Amino acid sequence: MRKARSIRQMTAERARTMPMSLPQGVAESAGDSVVCGSVLGVVTRFSCRTGNGITCSGSSERSIVFRFLRCERYAVTTPEEGRQMRADVRQNRAALVDAAWRLVADKGPGVSMRSVAAEAGVGIATLYRHFPTRDDLITGVVTEMVDRVLAVIGAHADEWGTVQGAERAWHAVSHGIADLGLGDVALGTIAVVPVDGKVWRETAGLRSRLDAAYRQLLQTAASYGLVSEELTVWQYHLGLGARSRPLAARAEKFAPGQSDWLVEVFLRGLRP
């Protein structure tokens, strides 16, 4: 215990008296191997070597200076830099998923990882940090698909209290899901992976969440007489997905409103 206090005292004393001479660094992501520096700031992670060759590593949320250690690598950030770093990581991941979504919908499942990185405006190394394999990227897109559908359903969850509200909510949800353009994205991702493969296994929970949300939606719609109680999740989902295929999208150029009209025709056909 006495030796530990001595080290803390030496650290504090050197922090006050010695000039800041070593460069600062910022970790690019939480999983990077990074170490301490000899500058005041928040030491996020460190891995240093002492004079006698002993290696120590760990993490700290406090402003500490390790001047008595010879640092191999370092990562010292201010709180604001740390927040910005995390925001940048999230933005890069979202940009990659959006790019994959657009390219798969436009070109099919054969798009290259390099094309996705270029479309997202990031380097290929950044893509592989977020998605080490193609399966990981597909899982990311499938996750985004489910999240977007659940967001549409959730956005109108409080509107079902009356017959008129239920009618509006049902049409808003159905149009919102159709507008996501899931058809081509699904055909280039979840529809082409092996049912016993990694993506299928890792998205099992996502599919269960989506199925449960759809079942609740259809049961509520049926209680207001908007659909038959015999309507299945797949009938509803695939019906809306078919509306988002290229023919409907391109028809908008020649017949504005065609896509919405097709959704309305579909919904009228679902009434009991």
Contact 26, 45 (CB under 8 A): no
What is the rounded (10 degree) CA torsion for 255, 259, 260, 265?
100
Contacts for 109 with CB less than 8 Å, ≥ 6 apart: 187, 188, 189, 192
Provide φ and ψ at 203, rounded to 5°.
-100, 10
- List domains and CATH numbers for the chain: 2-77 (no CATH), 84-132 (1.10.10.60), 139-270 (1.10.357.10)
pTM for the full predicted model: 0.66
Strand partners, 47: 57, 73
pLDDT in tens, the chain (272 residues): 444 444 344 444 443 433 333 333 333 333 333 333 333 333 344 444 433 333 333 433 333 333 333 334 444 444 554 555 567 788 889 999 999 999 998 888 889 999 999 999 999 998 998 899 999 999 999 999 999 999 999 999 999 989 999 999 999 999 999 988 888 888 888 888 888 888 899 899 999 999 999 999 999 999 999 999 999 999 999 888 877 665 555 666 777 777 788 889 999 999 98
Contact 59, 45 (CB under 8 A): yes
Evaluated on CA atoms 218, 220, 224, 229, the torsion sign reads positive
Strand partners, 55: 49
